[in-house]
Amino acid sequence: MMNVMRIGIACDHGGFDLKEELTSFLQTLGHEPIDLGTFNENSVDYPDYGMMLAEQVSKGDLKLGILICGTGIGMSIVANKYKGVRAALVNDLYSARYSREHTDANVLVIGGRIVGKDLAKEIVKTWLESSFLGGRHQRRLEKIASLEEKNFRA
Protein backbone atom coordinates (compact mmCIF):
# COMPACT_ATOMS: atom_id res chain seq x y z
CA MET A 1 0.00 0.00 0.00
CA MET A 2 1.40 3.36 -1.05
CA ASN A 3 1.35 6.41 1.19
CA VAL A 4 -0.90 9.21 -0.04
CA MET A 5 1.28 12.00 -1.38
CA ARG A 6 1.00 15.42 -2.93
CA ILE A 7 2.68 14.99 -6.31
CA GLY A 8 3.40 17.93 -8.61
CA ILE A 9 2.69 17.45 -12.29
CA ALA A 10 3.44 19.83 -15.16
CA CYS A 11 3.84 19.73 -18.92
CA ASP A 12 4.16 21.70 -22.09
CA HIS A 13 1.78 21.42 -25.04
CA GLY A 14 3.49 18.20 -26.18
CA GLY A 15 2.64 16.52 -22.90
CA PHE A 16 -0.79 17.98 -22.24
CA ASP A 17 -2.90 14.92 -23.14
CA LEU A 18 -0.69 12.60 -21.11
CA LYS A 19 -0.64 15.01 -18.15
CA GLU A 20 -4.43 15.00 -18.09
CA GLU A 21 -4.46 11.20 -18.15
CA LEU A 22 -1.83 10.87 -15.44
CA THR A 23 -3.47 13.47 -13.21
CA SER A 24 -6.63 11.34 -13.12
CA PHE A 25 -4.54 8.20 -12.68
CA LEU A 26 -2.76 9.65 -9.64
CA GLN A 27 -6.16 10.37 -8.11
CA THR A 28 -7.27 6.77 -8.67
CA LEU A 29 -4.13 5.67 -6.81
CA GLY A 30 -5.25 7.86 -3.91
CA HIS A 31 -2.67 10.64 -4.35
CA GLU A 32 -3.22 14.38 -4.59
CA PRO A 33 -1.87 15.67 -7.90
CA ILE A 34 -0.84 19.33 -7.85
CA ASP A 35 -1.41 20.45 -11.44
CA LEU A 36 0.99 23.22 -12.39
CA GLY A 37 -0.10 23.40 -16.03
CA THR A 38 -0.11 23.91 -18.87
CA PHE A 39 -3.88 23.75 -19.11
CA ASN A 40 -4.42 23.36 -22.86
CA GLU A 41 -2.63 22.36 -26.05
CA ASN A 42 -1.55 25.88 -27.03
CA SER A 43 2.18 26.16 -27.67
CA VAL A 44 4.18 27.14 -24.57
CA ASP A 45 7.84 27.13 -23.55
CA TYR A 46 8.63 23.94 -21.60
CA PRO A 47 11.25 25.64 -19.36
CA ASP A 48 8.51 27.74 -17.74
CA TYR A 49 6.68 24.66 -16.50
CA GLY A 50 9.76 22.61 -15.72
CA MET A 51 11.16 25.46 -13.60
CA MET A 52 7.90 25.86 -11.71
CA LEU A 53 7.83 22.21 -10.64
CA ALA A 54 11.58 21.79 -10.09
CA GLU A 55 11.70 24.86 -7.87
CA GLN A 56 8.99 23.43 -5.61
CA VAL A 57 10.81 20.10 -5.35
CA SER A 58 14.14 21.85 -4.74
CA LYS A 59 12.65 23.93 -1.91
CA GLY A 60 10.92 20.90 -0.39
CA ASP A 61 7.41 22.21 -1.02
CA LEU A 62 6.77 19.02 -3.01
CA LYS A 63 8.53 15.73 -2.35
CA LEU A 64 7.90 14.31 -5.85
CA GLY A 65 7.02 15.62 -9.27
CA ILE A 66 6.21 14.45 -12.78
CA LEU A 67 7.16 16.42 -15.89
CA ILE A 68 6.03 15.72 -19.44
CA CYS A 69 7.08 17.26 -22.73
CA GLY A 70 7.25 15.84 -26.24
CA THR A 71 10.41 13.78 -25.72
CA GLY A 72 11.10 14.45 -22.04
CA ILE A 73 14.60 15.66 -22.88
CA GLY A 74 13.98 19.39 -22.43
CA MET A 75 12.16 18.96 -19.13
CA SER A 76 14.95 16.70 -17.84
CA ILE A 77 17.58 19.30 -18.63
CA VAL A 78 15.59 22.07 -16.94
CA ALA A 79 14.73 20.12 -13.80
CA ASN A 80 18.27 18.91 -13.22
CA LYS A 81 19.49 22.52 -13.04
CA TYR A 82 17.90 22.77 -9.57
CA LYS A 83 19.75 21.86 -6.42
CA GLY A 84 18.46 18.65 -4.89
CA VAL A 85 16.41 17.69 -7.92
CA ARG A 86 17.18 14.29 -9.40
CA ALA A 87 15.06 14.14 -12.53
CA ALA A 88 15.05 10.89 -14.47
CA LEU A 89 13.82 10.59 -18.05
CA VAL A 90 11.99 7.28 -18.04
CA ASN A 91 10.33 5.56 -20.97
CA ASP A 92 10.27 1.95 -19.68
CA LEU A 93 9.47 0.04 -16.49
CA TYR A 94 13.04 -1.04 -15.75
CA SER A 95 14.25 2.55 -15.70
CA ALA A 96 11.25 3.59 -13.60
CA ARG A 97 12.20 1.12 -10.89
CA TYR A 98 15.92 1.76 -10.90
CA SER A 99 15.57 5.54 -11.08
CA ARG A 100 14.07 5.32 -7.59
CA GLU A 101 16.05 2.38 -6.18
CA HIS A 102 19.50 3.57 -7.24
CA THR A 103 19.26 7.35 -7.69
CA ASP A 104 16.26 8.23 -5.51
CA ALA A 105 14.83 10.26 -8.40
CA ASN A 106 12.36 12.79 -7.08
CA VAL A 107 11.16 13.96 -10.49
CA LEU A 108 9.90 11.54 -13.12
CA VAL A 109 10.10 12.81 -16.70
CA ILE A 110 8.17 11.15 -19.52
CA GLY A 111 8.12 11.82 -23.25
CA GLY A 112 4.47 12.50 -24.05
CA ARG A 113 4.98 11.85 -27.75
CA ILE A 114 7.04 8.72 -27.12
CA VAL A 115 5.24 6.79 -24.39
CA GLY A 116 1.65 5.59 -24.74
CA LYS A 117 -0.89 6.28 -22.01
CA ASP A 118 -1.09 2.72 -20.70
CA LEU A 119 2.67 2.34 -20.45
CA ALA A 120 2.94 5.80 -18.86
CA LYS A 121 0.51 4.72 -16.14
CA GLU A 122 2.56 1.60 -15.47
CA ILE A 123 5.73 3.70 -15.35
CA VAL A 124 4.16 6.06 -12.80
CA LYS A 125 2.86 3.17 -10.69
CA THR A 126 6.22 1.37 -10.75
CA TRP A 127 8.07 4.61 -9.94
CA LEU A 128 5.83 5.36 -6.97
CA GLU A 129 6.00 1.80 -5.64
CA SER A 130 9.80 1.66 -5.79
CA SER A 131 11.98 3.03 -3.02
CA PHE A 132 15.55 4.05 -2.54
CA LEU A 133 17.84 1.19 -1.52
CA GLY A 134 20.48 3.33 0.20
CA GLY A 135 23.80 1.61 0.90
CA ARG A 136 26.34 2.14 -1.86
CA HIS A 137 23.77 4.24 -3.71
CA GLN A 138 23.68 6.74 -0.83
CA ARG A 139 27.41 7.30 -1.20
CA ARG A 140 26.88 8.15 -4.86
CA LEU A 141 24.10 10.61 -4.08
CA GLU A 142 26.38 12.28 -1.55
CA LYS A 143 28.93 12.79 -4.32
CA ILE A 144 26.24 14.41 -6.47
CA ALA A 145 25.19 16.64 -3.56
CA SER A 146 28.82 17.66 -3.08
CA LEU A 147 29.02 18.60 -6.74
CA GLU A 148 25.87 20.70 -6.37
CA GLU A 149 27.39 22.57 -3.43
CA LYS A 150 30.39 23.47 -5.57
CA ASN A 151 28.46 24.45 -8.69
CA PHE A 152 25.01 25.74 -7.72
CA ARG A 153 24.18 28.93 -5.95
CA ALA A 154 20.46 28.21 -5.71
What residue spans define the domains of the chain?
A: 6-151
Task: Name the β-bridge partners of 75.
Answer: none
Place domain 6-151 in its CATH homologous superfamily.
Sugar-phosphate isomerase, RpiB/LacA/LacB (3.40.1400.10)
Quote the percentage of the chain above a pLDDT of 90.
82
For a pLDDT cut of 70, what percent of the chain falls above it?
97
Compute the distance between CA of residue 30 and CA of residue 124 in angstroms, rounded to an integer.
13
- Residue 147 pLDDT level (bands cut at 50, 70, 90): confident
Please give the Cα distance from 116 to 71 (Å, whole number). Answer: 12
36 close to 53: Cβ distance less than 8 angstroms:
yes
What would the mean pLDDT of 112-140 be, rounded to a whole number? 93
Q: Please say if the pLDDT value at position 13 is more than 70.
A: yes
**pLDDT bracket for residue 141 (50, 70, 90):** confident
In this prediction, residues 60-76 reach a mean pLDDT of 97
Question: Which positions are catalytic?
Answer: 69, 102
R_g over Cα of the chain: 14
Q: Residue 93 pLDDT > 60, yes or no?
A: yes
* Comparison of pLDDT for 75 and 139, the residue scoring more: 75
Give pLDDT, residue 154. Answer: 47
Poorest-pLDDT segment among 32-41, 60-69, 83-92, 132-141: 132-141
Sequence letter at residue 32: E
Distance CA 42, CA 52 (A): 18
Beta bridge partners of residue 109, listed in sequence order: 67, 89
What is the predicted pLDDT for the residue at 2? 53
